[in-house]
Copies of this chain bind each other. A is one copy, B any other.
Amino acid sequence: MKNSQGKKNPGSDIVHVVANLRGAAHDFILTRLADEGITDLAPSHGAILAVLYERGDQPMMAISEYIRRDKSTLTVLVRKLQSLGYVTRAADACDGRVTIVRLTEKGRELRELFERISGELCREIWCDADDDQKEKLVALLREMTGRLEKANEKHETQEKHEKKEAD
């Protein structure tokens, strides 16, 4: 009677459900990578490589925002990718503050594997959904995320104002 979603109002566990989907996807990726003998990369490292594959060489900050990790976290992650030989770091010619992360040949060699695993993962996730359904769902999830981010931002600026009022 008192089941996990028994009497509760619908959708109240959306965050938990989403977190589980993310977790299961991570597990999927990690086991497939391990199959190929790659045991020293975390999902976050894969996310960094994916950005570089999609968008080319990128500054730290751009990667940081895209994969939603603090810049200090990115320092650690990129340092590891560098020590494993997948990327290099170089100062930007135009702006001395900026560090550009570049794929090495070894890094580029991983692309095919990453795309294969990503393809398998998507096939499992989407099953028999058609393109229209996929686009609709992704758009919906993006809208949800956008609303939350806006709410978080609004909240931040509100706090700043409160701080200024304290003068």
Which residues of chain A have a CB within 8 Å of any CB of chain B? Answer: 4, 9-25, 27-28, 31, 47, 50, 54, 68, 118, 121-122, 124-127, 129, 131, 134-135, 137-138, 140-145, 147-149, 151-152, 155-156
Shortest CB distance A83–B (Å): 25
User: Nearest CB to that of A156 among chain B residues?
Assistant: B31
Contact A148-B21, Cβ < 8 Å, known A10-B135, A131-B10, A134-B10: yes
Shortest CB distance A74–B (Å): 14
Would you call B25 and A22 a contact (CB within 8 A)? Answer: no
Would you call B24 and A148 a contact (CB within 8 A)? Answer: yes
Main secondary structure of the interface of A (DSSP, over half): helix
Shortest CB distance A155–B (Å): 5
7 A-B pairs besides A9-B131, A12-B118, A124-B151 with CB distance below 8 A are A11-B129, A11-B131, A18-B25, A19-B68, A22-B22, A28-B151, A121-B148
Would you call B138 and A14 a contact (CB within 8 A)? Answer: yes
B contact residues around A124 at 8 Å (CB): 144, 147-148, 151
B contact residues around A152 at 8 Å (CB): 24, 27-28, 31
Shortest CB distance A138–B (Å): 6
